[in-house]
Structure 1
Amino acid sequence: MKDDRRVEALLRELAPQVIGLLVRRHGQFDACEDAVQEALLSAAQQWPEQGIPDSPKSWLATVASRRLVDEWRSESARRRREENSATLDLPGPGQPSTVSSSDDTLTVLFLCCHPSLSAPSQLALTLRAVGGLTTGEIATAFLVPESTLAQRISRAKQTIKKAGAEFVLPPRAELDERLRVVLQVLYLIFNEGYTTSGGPDLHRADLTAEAIRLTRLLRRLMPAEDEVTGLLALMLLTDARRAARATEDGALIPLADQDRSRWNAETIAEGVELVSRALEAGPVGPYQLQAAIAAVHDEAATTKETDWPQILALYDVLEKVSPGPVVTLNRAVAVAEVHGPEAGLELLGTLDDDTRMSQTHRLDSVRGHLLELAGDTGAAREAYLRAAEKTASEPEKQYLTLRAERLS
């Protein structure tokens, strides 16, 4: 089992490197990505039994390249096939590897988050090409049929091809905007893992772990980007509470009721150190501010000791830096804690006509909480029930329904 985990970790690390290597040699991201996926599957089957080869990256590149040759040999365009085959230069038995030691992971990550792709396609392609997950694993994570996920990935690769995307990092003028998309994709992966959007499980630890791993990798590749550090800190400070978020039978435990002794102190310490370093470095971005808010929550020994005025001050800055309905929703909770539930409800009212909030249960959930604090139990019950109807997460539905029943 230990060897299996070692192999899995190594394959996830090498997957984007080998894709980058093949794309640089041959172009055709779609064909190279498919070939690498087949090589990863072969390695996952062989390495635990036969041992990890001396040069695992070279092994994967060789197997994937041969798959490309087999594919091209089956095509009718002989000239193109022969030209591609001539460039392979595969190492034979006993020959030294010619695989480059360069790491194209960052380029692959930016390509998977190409702006021509929809958010679901970016998520799926990033998890497969950069995360090394199989199509089946990704489909399970997002509760969709494997065939549907496979079609999504195939369309994403064709979209990249049609867009004429080159296998290079974006120019400096475009880098900040493209990095914003990359960070958003990684954060979406984390959020889906931390609170699944549907199904019987409250969270998926495999997705949160993968999002943290990829963000650590991105930070290693772009150490000067403070928002990357901020996002990693935010993930760690949030994930540190995971063990206390649910009962043994999977029922949701809200933040205020969690046993804080079960929070991961080591992870919190790392997150606090990271966000402190990022905030001192220069201009403050939204992920740094969200991480700072998470740090205030995590450093409070008890719920009553939470520094809500500081949290509200941070939300005030966040709303100026990165305004949006989710920020307003969360700020309303802080407003209620500092100025009373009526003030929080007044701020929530500004979101009633925001179409971006119409499909989510969170507005009604927060409204129910604030109405309950204000003593309007009838309206709170109705809000909880509306929220329960809108969520596809079974633990959240159960929690909201129980809250409503207690107010009957």
Structure 2
Amino acid sequence: MADKDSTQDTASDVYCVTSDYTARDPTQISLEAGDTVTVLEAVSDEWWWVEFIDKNDKPLVGYAPVNHLSKEIPLDEEDKWENSEYFSSYGQLKLHSEMLTDVPRTSTYSLAIQSALPWLQDKVVLDVGSGTGILSLFCARYGKPKKVYAVEASDIAVYSRETVSKNGYEDVIEVIQGNINDISLPHHQVDWIISEWMGTLLLFEFMIESVINARDKFLKPDGMIWPSEAELFLIPCSALSAYNGSMGIWKDVYGFDFSPYLSLAADTLTGKPIYNHTLSPDECLSEPFTILQLNMKTVTVSQLEDIRTAYDFLVKRSGMLHGFASYFTVHFSHLPHPHTPVTLSTSPQSKPTHWKQDLLLLDSPLQLEEGQRLKGTIKLTRHKLWRRHLRVTLTYSVWEDDTELNEAVTKIYRLWR
């Protein structure tokens, strides 16, 4: 690397970081894709001396690799959302078959809609991301609404429209193929929005933003939105088979020490959540901790960009900590008449759904003893460039009484970039 004193002067200029970079020595600066930096000096063809303002408004300076910087943000709005790839996947039957055959998911929506019968009659309903149209069909069958707008951006809308007609509901349900952000409705406001927007770690794919935008654009002030609330939980757990499949195999391969591969395995095999993981209740080492609560009538997009929560688990059962599992719960409430609350949960204690649970696997397991505490923080950060993507930063350490038994460990998980 060139010495900074031998650099050539250059005018201060703002550049976008196009891909992550982790500093390799104290003179360098770690950056994430989507950050912006001010170039102070063009040191060489490979390295520039830059200033970066962090989230606490603290200025940081250091070397950054030129091949990670671009004068222009390299993506247009369509690329940021990856809409062509995203909607293409929902234009195929595989995902819809998985959702329709998820009995707890689909039957819970059906039960919730039936619980709203007195209120739904003669109302205008908006189904956001309607897919095959099953939720719209439930509304038409049970609720006797005035109108249901089923909005779906993928090509599955063509078949959904035919299905609506085949079942005799074309006078009630109008299928609109398009992005919810771009369409208009004959009824400028609706009484009720319904959607199934939940993904990995509740938020992944960020369909929730489309629901929030639809709420702000179309929902009457006294209207309802279902699900009405959502919660995301975290729980420490044992997961021996998952750990052995990802990390344990590299410790001994036919009698050879393959430990040099462990750092690569930690990055490539445990650097992303293991989704659709089935967690047994007896693998849970503590009670769950609520890391996120959402009220769908009031949550804003800006509140979902960077979510940070401190946790403190009391270990209820001794065992090996291999990771943390997450699951979510959504509620169907806020009806203006008395009704039995309806809840859909993906917890290990509930009937399995297609979401199952998500596992954040550690690089190295820790032995926990009953009565100890597991403390740390979890941060969910929306990717600055790839807007459907999410990152999880997990910090953890073990405590006994007031003594920290190990130095806090931090690990980053990417969903998916």
TM-score normalised over the length of structure 1: 0.26
Higher helix residue share: 1
Higher strand residue share: 2
TM-score normalised over the length of structure 2: 0.25
Structure having greater relative contact order (Cα 8 Å, sep ≥ 6): 2
